[in-house]
């Protein structure tokens, strides 16, 4: 029986590399796309995946911003997993160039190449960010797949905005091109990395914990977290299950950042430079620029709390989530090492 063939975009990324490994472990023929200027060191992750799974990874060059760039990569492919999109939660200087254009144009170019090649199924990595833009928007609510982010804009929470409009563009194109689209909407992704890249906000924020950036106190903020390996598995399960439709939230649990710090101390030891207390909102608002965080984010997120439903993922994908405390501790220990 001929092996199924999947194209995973953004293969050197934090999530993309785990998606590739998951498909390879299940015996799929895996292709990926990277940019032409990708550093050779970042490509070594594919050699490591091949060594552990026995599956060679086909590498194609493509650019999210270039029309028809994915045409060659999609040849003879059965399904596409489009995970390539920047994840920069804070600190972008040019929101349009760094976040919005790659998210929208990349989605458009990948789906157009899929349609041209007659590929009928695409699994898109979206985000819980496409469902809410700040804490005020969802205070006291339980977020589910029916929610759409209405608070973000090109100037306020541009990452969240980029994920929202990219997913909306994907649904529009899927309808026009008769593509069976499924979106995976993960919470904040944590867990050990396969790649050495450091440009994901997931890795940056955990590095901030390792370096003791918040050891004097952390704001009262809620966040839905999930293990990167569970998110990768969800992409695989959504691909192989023909009955999966629409959007699916992938989230193990909603916690507060102080709980993440407590989990690290519990698993790693009391001597770690992680916070053990909350910092008052007004004080963090004043100091937030020193941490590379916009004051508008503090105003809209600190002190507001919500929950996130993962019922659909457990029912339809049969996901059994990893223990979130072990995820946090394992990620922390990897970066510390």
Which pLDDT value is given to residue 2? 63
Model pLDDT, residue 199: 65
Segment holding 115, helix H or strand E:
helix 101-116
Q: Cα–Cα distance between 304 and 314 in angstroms, integer?
A: 26
Pair 192, 330: CB distance under 8 Å: yes
The predicted pLDDT at position 323 comes to 96
Predicted confidence at residue 206, as pLDDT, reads 81
| pLDDT confidence of residue 88 | 57
Taken in order of first residue, the domains within the chain and their CATH numbers are 5-336 (3.40.50.720)
- Residue 131 contacts by C-beta under 8 Å, 6 or more apart in sequence? 143, 145, 147, 148, 149, 185, 249
- CA–CA separation, 271 vs 265, rounded Å? 8
List the one residue out of 91, 106, 100, 236 whose CA is nearest residue 173.
106
pTM, two decimals, is 0.94
Return the pLDDT at 49: 95
In a 13 Å sphere around the CA of 83, the CA atoms on its Cβ side amount to 30
The alpha carbons of the chain give a radius of gyration, in whole angstroms, of 19
pLDDT value for 86: 61
**What tokens were used for 322?**
């990893």
Q: Which stretches of the chain score pLDDT less than 50?
A: 1
């Amino acid at each position: 029986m001929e092996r199924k063939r999947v194209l995973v975009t953004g293969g050197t990324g934090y999530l993309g590399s785990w998606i590739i490994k998951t498909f390879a472990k299940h015996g799929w023929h895996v292709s990926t796309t990277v940019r032409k200027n990708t550093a050779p060191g970042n490509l070594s992750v594919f050699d490591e995946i091949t060594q552990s799974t026995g599956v060679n990874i086909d590498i194609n060059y493509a650019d999210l911003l270039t029309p028809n760039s994915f045409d060659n990569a999609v040849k003879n492919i059965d399904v596409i997993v489009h995970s390539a999109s920047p994840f920069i939660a804070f600190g972008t200087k040019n929101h349009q160039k760094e976040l919005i254009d790659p998210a929208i144009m990349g989605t458009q170019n990948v789906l157009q190449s899929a349609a041209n090649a007659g590929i009928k199924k695409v699994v898109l990595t979206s985000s819980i960010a496409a469902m809410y833009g700040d804490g005020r928007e969802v205070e006291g609510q339980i977020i589910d797949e029916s929610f759409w982010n209405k608070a973000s804009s090109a100037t306020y929470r541009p990452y969240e905005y980029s994920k929202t409009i990219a997913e909306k563009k994907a649904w529009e194109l899927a309808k026009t091109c008769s593509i069976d689209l499924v979106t995976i909407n993960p919470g904040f992704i944590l867990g050990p990395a396969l790649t050495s890249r450091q440009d994901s906000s997931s890795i940056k924020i955990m590095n901030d914990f390792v370096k003791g950036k918040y050891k004097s106190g952390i704001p009262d903020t809620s966040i839905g977290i999930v293990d990167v390996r569970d998110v990768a598995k969800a992409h695989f399960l959504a691909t192989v299950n023909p009955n999966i439709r629409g959007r699916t939230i992938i989230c193990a649990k909603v916690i507060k950042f102080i709980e993440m710090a407590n989990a690290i101390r519990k698993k790693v030891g009391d001597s770690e430079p992680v916070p053990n207390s909350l910092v008052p909102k007004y004080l963090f608002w004043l100091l937030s620029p020193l941490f590379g965080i916009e004051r508008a984010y503090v105003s809209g997120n600190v002190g507001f709390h919500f929950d996130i439903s993962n019922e659909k993922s457990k029912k339809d994908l049969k996901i059994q989530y990893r223990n979130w405390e072990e995820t946090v501790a394992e990620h922390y220990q990897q970066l510390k090492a």
